[in-house]
Structure formats: C-alpha cells, structure tokens
Structure 1
Amino acid sequence: LLSLNEHNDSKTDKSLFSQDREISDLEQCSSVAENGVMLVVNHSRVRPPFGVLLATALYCAEFVTAAVLCSMYHNTEDVIWMSLTIVFMLMPAVLIQLTLTFIHRDLGRDRPLVLLLHLLLLGPIIRCFEALVIYFKAGKNEEPYVTISRKITLKKGQGTQMEWEIGQKERMLATHMNAFKRTAVIQAFLGSTPQLTLQLYATIQEKYILPTRTVLMVITLISITYGALVCTVLAIQIRYDDYKVRLHPRAYLCMIVWRGLEIATRITALVLFSTALTYWTILVAVANLLFFFFLPWVEFWARKGSLTQNVEKNFSKLGTTVVLCMFTLLYACINIFCWSAVQLDLTHQELIERKQRWGHLAMYYCGRFVENFLLITLWYFFKSDFYEYVCAPLLVVQLLICYSLAVLFMLLFYQFCHPFRRLFKYNVHDCLHCACCHKRRATMVLGGSQPPDLTSQLAERETDIVEDLMEAA
C-alpha cells in the first residue's frame, strides 16, 4: 500500500496489490521521493478501449435490428408492437446522447459537428472514433504510467512535455471509457430489458418465432448481461477506489453465468405471468419500481441528511434533485430485473454507500426468489391452452433451479473470485460458519458446555487481514 508521512496531506495514487494477492499482475517499480511518498510506476502500455467498442457495437446492433423489426411490424399492421418497439428503441438512445454530452461538457464548447451527430442519435459512433484516435496516438510512445505526484511535478514546470501529453491522453481515454460504462448501464436497463420483455411476450402471444425478433432478443440479452457486469465492476471500483481493480478471467466467467441466469429467469417469470394475468403484471411492475425508487429517499429522510452539492457545481437545488431522481430511477429499473450491487446514499459525494451490506443482499435474493416462485405458480394455475403441449411442472422446476444456480454462482463469486475478498470483515464462508456455530452454541448451552469465544476469533481474523495488508505493502 502507498502511504504518506504524518506531515504530508497530499493524496497519493491508487494502491496496487501484488500478484499473489490476485488483485494486480502489474510489474511494480517503487522508489521513495523526497517528501516520503512511495511512487509506483507501471510500465505496461495503455489498455485498448474494448469496452467502448463493445458498447458501441451493442448500441448500433440493437438500434438497427429494432428498426428493421419495426418496419416488419408496419408491413403486417401490428401497430401496438411497432409503437412499443419504437419507444424502447428511442428512449435509451436519447438518454445516451444526453449522458455523453453531459459527461464531455460539449454544450460549453464549439463542436457543432459532434452536437449534430448527437441530434442524429449517432453520438456513440463519433465518441468511439475519438477514443480509438486517442488510443492509437497514445500507443505510439511507450511511456511510464504518470502518477498523481508526477502530474503535480509536471504542472509545476518540471518533466518533459511528452510525458505531460501522454498523461493528458490517458485522462481523455479514461473519460471516454467511463462515459461508455454509464451508457452501457442505461442502454441495458432502460432499453434492452423492456425490449426483451416485449419481444418475448409478443412471440408467445403470436405463437410463432420470427427470425428478426429472435436476433433482437439475443442482442438485448447480451446487452443486459454486459450492463449488469459493468454495474458490478463499477460498484467494486467505487467502493474500493483506493486500490487498482484487476479481475481474473474466472471472475468474469462467474459473473456472466450469475447475471445471465438471474436476468433470463426473472424476465421469463414476468413474461409467463403476463400471459396469464396481463393487468396484474402492471401492478407488479409498478409496485417494484415505486419500492426501489423511494427506498433511497426514505433512508435519506430517516437519516435527516442534506443533498450532496457535488453532483454539478452549476446546479441549483432543483437541478440537483432532478439529477438524483433520474439516478434513483435508473437504480430502481436495475433492481426490478437483477441485483444492482450497490446501495444508494444520497448524502455521499459519489451517491453510493461504501459498506458491503450482506443483510441487504440476502433479503433481496430471498425476496426475489419468493416473488418469482409466486409469479410462476400463479401462471401455472391460470395459464392458457397454448401451453397444453408444454410440461408446465417441469418448466416451473427448471426456472426455480436456474435462479438457484444464479444465486450459487453469486456466492461463488463473492467467496472465491471477488478481487477484494481478503479485505472483507465477513465473507460467505464466515456467514455460514457463524450460522453453524450459532446452532452448535445453542446445543452446547443446553447441554451445559461453554460457548466458543467468538470475540477472540474475530480479533484473530482482523489481525490476519492487517498482516495481509502489510505484506501487500
């Protein structure tokens, strides 16, 4: 870990763990500066913007496929399907343009071509092109990683102009990558999830499989899974912003299976329920949306906090409230279909609570499992004659097993694949162990034996964590 002297208040770089801690596999070269700050130099190249390319490809593929499907609906005079498809196609596209314009602050700059492309809903394409240009220009010169302390030195006039330009390009590329992470989440949960639900419902109602509609459903499922992965990684990065986050490939594989099964099972349960009890589906969706929308605000009012003023310097209280409401709406839409991996704190600068609340995680998945079970059970009793050739009991069991597998892979991720699992005060194994110890302690107390000293065990656990941190330093 990087540390400061007692008399030095400047902020240092993000810490890097060694490879044996499975957090970072970077080559580290450390030296102590005159002010006592340990500098960590990374000799790796600038990372390619694969996330930008993937987000842009998913955006274009979904938009084009939805447009083709709308044309087919128009030819067959399916006005309802066409109208809803257009809404779920344009709504996330417009929000993405606004998000990219807001993050890059283009309204205060003289860039008419970029603004025109945003009006034509082609903003992600030009942003992707800009990110690629920055990447290839930065890749021509292999320069060391410019640390925060080094940037301060460069600002004071020391160091080469080339190093300062490389640092500027790295920051610009990081801005593009962070912007596309936000747009991927918006595209996934404000566009792809309702689009997938609609097209699956239309397929069941019309009782035939349309190839273009199948392609759109596959693209939207990939988009939702990718958005859920981005949301999980962003939550980890914000919660542990003092460290460099590096995920192992097996962690990504575990998250893909976890998120894919969770989302597919949830959407299937909602669609099956809607085919049997259509109007009750609206009540279920609205109840979920209102609950998760007002939950952060109820906690905010219970704490008697004040709104954070760091959302945007030029915003008034009304503007800040509107932005927070939009952020809370996105948070609610995510939680309708899958676990958002974060808990909102409207009083905090980053709007996200840093603690890992296992209780909230357990309550969410237990409640969601019960809700899915009730939805599928109600569909089983009120299903139409269309399912007479389908083994309904087997389908119910398969959906419940798939959701249980999603929960299992989630537990495996937090126990074995989470990059900061060594920093957890409690982990999945500890929670299960404590539950077993609680039952054993109750048995021993009834038998007259003394319960184990859990306080000493917790102290040993904290000591081990401190030793791990010191070794990583």
Structure 2
Amino acid sequence: MEEEREISDMEQSQPDSATVENGVMLVVNHSHIRPPFSVVLATVLYCAEFVCALVLCRKYHDTGDTIWMSFTIVFVLVPAVLIQLTLTFIHRDLGRDRPLVLFLHLLLLGPLIRCFEALVVYFKAGRKEEPYVTISRKISLKKGQGIPTEWEIGHSERKLAAHRNAFKRTAVIQAFLGSTPQLTLQLYATIQEKYVFSNRLILMIITLISITYGALVCSVLAIQIRYDDYKVRLRPAAYFCMIVWRGLEIATRVTALVLFSTALTYYVIPVGLGNLLFFFFLPWGEFWAKKGSLPENIEKNFSKLGTTVVLCMFTLLYACINIFCWSAVQLDLTHRELIEKKQRWDRLATYYCGRFVENFLLITLWYFYKSDFYEYVCAPLLVVQLLICYSLAVLFMLLFYQFCHPCRRLFRYNVHDCLHCVCCRKGKERDRRRRGELPPSYSTAATMVLVPEEQLELQDTQNSQQPPDITSQLGERETAIIDDTTDAA
C-alpha cells in the first residue's frame, strides 16, 4: 500500500510532540481547530440568494411581470430542494430519530440547522482542545515492511470535516443548478426592460459570487480527489489565480449567452440544450464504449435502478457545470469514485478552444442581429472586451497550472512543455531518466521527495534482511502531518 505523502506550497508546521509506542506512532497536536468558515459562507450565500429572490418576486408581482416571477421562483426552489435532499442523504438522517431536523429540511431551512450544528461542535470543542492524539496511524508488520492501515482523528474534527464536505457539495449544487440560471435570467430581464433596479442588481451580484465560489470549490475538490494520497495545501496566489480565472470565465460565458438570446431569442434554446445533452451523454457514451459495470459502493441499500438515478443526477450536475465553465474533473462511471484521476491536458485544451470559438460565434451573431437598443453602445468595443476577458481567464488558468498548482511536480507534462518541440522534450526526459533526476520544480521551496523505483527495490531487499525500523520509515513524514485540509475551499 502506498505511503501517505504531503505536498505543500506553504511552510510546514511541525506537530508539538511525537512518540512511538508498541509499533504505533502517535502525533499529538495542541493547535487550534479550524473554524468552519466554508460552512458559514455557503449558508450565508444560500440564505442571501433565497431572501433576495423572494423580495424580487414580490417586486415582479407588484409590476405584473408574471413570467420573470415564475422563472425566478423555479430557479430558487429547485436547487433549494436538491440541497435539502443532499444534506439529508450525506448525514443519513432518514434512519435516525431527528424530527426537528427533518421538519426544518421540509421548510427549506436545512442549511441553517446544519450550520448551527457545526458552530456548536466548534465552540463546544473550544478554540484550543485538551491534549489528545489527533492522528494515530497503526503499523502492521508484513514481510518486514511497515504498512499504514488506519487513521484515528479527534471526534470534533471528524464532525466538522463531515459538515465541511457536505456543504462543499451543496455549494456546487447551489452555484450551477440555481445561481447560474438565475444570473442569466436576471441579466436577460435587465436588458429586455432596459432598466436596472436595486433588488435585481443585488441578486445578480450575490449569484455571481455564489457561482465563483462554487467553481472554486470544484477546482479544490478536483485536486483533493485526484491526489487523495497526498496532503494538499494551496498558497494565496493559487486562490487568487483561481478566483480571477473562474470569475472572468463565468461572467464572459453568461454575457455571451444573454447577448445572443436578446438578438436571436429562440435560437438560444438549441444552443443550451445541445451543450447540456452533449456533456450529459459524454460520460455515458464512454461508459458504454468501455462496456463497464455500474459501481456498487455508492450506497449499499441501493438497487441498480437507484444507483442509475443517482448517477444520472450526478451527470446532470456535471453537464450544468460544463455549460458555463470547465468542471476540472472528468467522470468515469466505471470507477468506484466516479472520477478519472488522470490529468487530461487534451480535454482541457479541447474544451477551452471549443468554448472560445463558440463564444466568438455567439457574440458575432449578436453583433449582426442586435436590436436598436445597442445603438448607444459601442458594439465592436464590447465584442473585443468579452474576447479579451475570456483570454485573460485562460491566461490565469495557465498561470495556475504552471506555477500555483500544489501538485504540479506530479505532472508528466506542464504548460511550459507546449513551448518545446516533441523531440527535445523526449530527449530531455530520456537523459533525465538515465541520470535519475527529478522533474523540474516551479516552487520556491521543496514540496516532496520522489524515490526512483530502483532505490525502492534495493531498500525492500535490505528491509527483508534486517529488522524493520519504524522510526526511520515514518519519523520525518509522520511528524510533518498537519491539520485536516478539508477547509481549503
């Protein structure tokens, strides 16, 4: 079994103490528990968008705009109901005696009670807990090798981690099943009515923040899922690149769709439906091509029909994300974790090239078929600005993968390889393998150590002849373990 390794772009903090007892290394941590900021932020965005949408519906009702009011209600209720189901499913409340919690979920107030529970756990545990063993890795000796078999963490941290993971999923659902269509609708209504009032503007700002946060959570979750064998931490520069990258990408995409819909209203339906169906059936097409079988670890009590329904909902969310921005993950319905862990640079390049061409065509068609309302707007300048903004989004994405991605040293190729010819790249890699050198690092500090396979085989031979030394195997790595990083988003 592969040993746990840590990748960090930040300066690593050492635990307070570490002892070895009966073949088990105990890492004692006296540090503060991480506050559940992600839980609070997701709850605030959910409540703010819900309340602003209801106030806006009241405004539409007073002005007689029945169509805008109906769509606004739909784009509020659908993600709210899905969020309640997601929280209930993750926390498994249906099999527990919690009538108050279930009643609040029926009132669409589930995120509030969950956030309250997370805050109670945090404050009850105290900002500084009593000394206890936060991480305990048991070592079983097998063929002269120490094999880590189990993690034991504090009860409070385990509860907070469960809440963080649940709210990260709900943030993605809220962003791409509710906020993105809501922002598109309100921007379209604003252009059609040629007037912006405060309630609508506030709702549009909140939805844009929610979408950007959801896309940021997608990127962080993709890194954590793809590199789950490592402890991953991101620098502030990485967050800055991702926020600018995602914000510009989503804002440009939504603007292009809205402008196109104002000029060719009915033609936007096949464009959006074509995108949705393509990304929805793409994972299923690959699944049928591989002739794979459905994973059985989603839920033990699920039948094949239940598993198929859950996978369809998961694929629908994946398709909705890819309509507006890059999802950062590729679905593999044959894998038990449903995520393809290989970094697919070809798909990344294909997606952004295709999306750039599509946005360019949508904006060009809008330019030729725009209404008289845009006579007071410099249309060529607006087209150039949108294309530049999307190009800047791609640029910040490249900067993130080249310099700020915490696991970039694990990439076989990176962005800079595109500047070299294939022959030179192969020649350098062949020489590097002969010398046993590591791939080039773009970090200012060393993040991890990779050992060639020949040295590992030699070490295994030596371990089989000598008694195992647990401290030499784990001392430096185990004491470098830091607090749980599930609050990264």
Give the TM-score normalised by structure 1.
0.87
Q: Say whether 1:65 aligns with 2:52.
A: yes
Query: Are the counterparts in 2 of residues 24 and 246 from structure 1 also a CA contact under 8 Å?
Result: no
**Residue in 1 aligned with 2:397?**
410
Paired residue for 1:141?
Answer: 129
The answer for the alignment partner of 1:16 in structure 2 is 6
SS of residue in 2 equivalent to 1:464: coil
Shift of 1:256: 0.5
Cα gap change, 1:233/1:42 in structure 2, threshold over 3 Å: closer, same or farther?
farther
- For residue 457 of structure 1, report the CA deviation from its aligned partner: 4.2
Q: Distance in 1 between matches of 2:10 and 2:310?
A: 34
Large movers: runs of 4+ above 4 Å:
28-43, 465-468, 470-473
Does residue 255 (structure 1) correspond to residue 242 (structure 2)? The answer is yes
Instruction: State the partner residue of 1:82.
Output: 69
Q: Per-residue displacement from partner, 1:172-204 (whole Å, max 9, x unpaired)?
A: 111001000000000000000000000000000
Secondary structure (helix, strand or coil) at the match of 1:453 reads: helix
Structure 2 residue identity aligned to 1:469: V
The SS at the match of 1:171 is helix
Residue 206 in structure 1 maps to residue 179 in structure 2: no
Determine if contact 2:122/2:160 at 8 Å carries over to the other structure: yes
Contact 1:62-1:220 within 8 A present in 2 as well: yes
How does 1:248-327 map onto structure 2 within 5 Å? 248-327=235-314
Question: For residue 433 of structure 2, what is the amino acid of its counterpart?
Answer: A
Distance 1:452 1:306 in 2: 37
Question: 1:228 and 2:208 equivalent?
Answer: no
AA aligned to 2:419 is L
Among 33, 40, 50, the alignment partner of 2:37 is 50
CA shift, 1:143, in A, is 3.3
Residue 111 of structure 1 is matched in structure 2 by 98
- Cα deviation for residue 470 of structure 1 reads 4.5
Query: Percent same amino acid at aligned positions?
Result: 75
SS in 2 for 1:402: helix
Contact 1:266 1:337 in 2 (8 A): yes
Gap runs ≥5 in structure 2: 141-151, 441-445, 452-475, 478-489
Corresponding letter in the other structure for 1:327:
F
Question: What residue number does 1:456 align with?
Answer: 430
CA contact (8 A) 1:296 1:345 kept: yes
Deviation track 1:119-143 (CA, whole Å, cap 9, x = no partner) reads: 0000000000000011112225243
Deviation at 1:313, TM superposition (A): 0.7
Map Cα deviations across residues 337-369 of structure 1 (whole Å, 9 max, x no partner): 000000001111111011111110000000000
Among residues 361, 364, 386, which one is paired with 1:399 in the alignment?
A: 386
> Partners in 1 of 2:66 and 2:234 — Cα distance?
46
The aligned residue for residue 187 of structure 1 is 174
- CA 1:462–1:394 in 2, change beyond 3 Å: closer, same or farther? farther
User: Aligned letter for 1:262?
Assistant: E
Q: Is the 8 A contact 2:26 2:136 kept in 1?
A: no
Say which SS state the counterpart of residue 278 (structure 1) adopts.
Answer: coil
Take 2:449 and 2:345, find their aligned partners in 1: how far apart are those partners? 23
- 1:431 CA drift (Å): 2.9
| Maintained 8 Å contact 1:276/1:382 | yes
Structure 1 contact 56–128 (Cα < 8 Å) conserved: yes
Q: CA deviation at 1:57?
A: 0.2
Classify 1:240/1:404 alpha carbon distance in 2 versus 1 (closer, same or farther; 3 Å). same
The 1:383–1:69 alpha-carbon spacing in structure 2 relative to 1, beyond 3 Å, is same
Kindly indicate whether residue 416 of structure 2 is the aligned counterpart of residue 429 of structure 1.
yes
Report the 3-state secondary structure (helix = DSSP H, G, I; strand = E; otherwise coil) of the residue aligned with 1:245.
Answer: strand
Partners of 1:240 and 1:78 lie apart in 2 by 49
Instruction: Describe the superposition over 1:201-259 as per-residue Cα deviations: whole angstroms up to 9, x where unpaired.
Output: 00000001111000000000000000000000000000111111211111111110000
Q: Compare the two structures and name the one with the higher strand fraction.
A: 2
Counterpart in the other structure of 1:355 = 342
Tell me the CA shift for residue 452 of structure 1.
Answer: 7.6
Whole-angstrom CA distance in 2 between matches of 1:289 and 1:66 = 25
Cα 1:24–1:305 shift into 2, 3 Å: farther
Q: Distance in 2 between the 1:110 and 1:361 partners? A: 46
Residues 413 and 41 of structure 1: CA distance in aligned 2, closer, same or farther (over 3 Å)? farther
3-state DSSP class of the match of 1:406? helix
Q: Deviations over 1:266-299 (max 9, x none)?
A: 0000000000001110000000000000000111
Shift of residue 15, structure 1, vs aligned partner: 3.0
Given residue 464 of structure 1, which amino acid in structure 2 is its aligned partner?
A: L
Q: 1:236 to 1:167 in 2, by over 3 A?
A: same
- For residues 35 and 361 of structure 1, do their structure 2 counterparts lie closer, same or farther at Cα, with a shift above 3 Å needed? farther
SS where residue 146 of structure 1 aligns?
Answer: strand
* Offset, 1:43: 4.2
The one-character-per-residue Cα deviations of 1:60-108 (angstroms, maximum 9, x if unpaired) are 0000000000000000010000000000010000000000000000000
- Bigger shift: 459-468 or 226-235? 459-468
- Identify which of 421, 425, 449 aligns with 1:469: 449
Give the letter aligned to residue 267 of structure 1: V
1:409-443: CA deviations, max 9, x gaps?
A: 00000111111111211111123324xx56xx7xx
- Which structure carries more helix by proportion? 1
8 Å contact from structure 2 (residues 294, 334) kept in 1: yes
Moved more, 131-140 or 249-258: 131-140
| Larger RCO (CA within 8 A; separation ≥ 6) | 2
The alpha-carbon distance between structure 1 residues 148 and 334, as it changes in their structure 2 partners (threshold 3 A), is farther
Question: How many pairs were matched up?
Answer: 436
SS at match of 2:12: coil
Work out whether residues 231 and 340 of structure 1, in 8 Å CA contact, stay in contact via their aligned partners in 2.
yes
Maintained 8 Å contact 1:61/1:219? yes
Structure 1: segments with no counterpart, 5+ residues: 1-8, 153-163, 442-450
Measure, in 1, the Cα distance between the counterparts of 2:34 and 2:431: 42
Task: With the length of structure 2 as denominator, give the TM-score of the two structures.
Answer: 0.84
Give, in whole Å, the separation in 1 of the partners of 2:229 and 2:13: 16
Equivalent pair of 1:16/1:23 in contact (CA under 8 Å): no
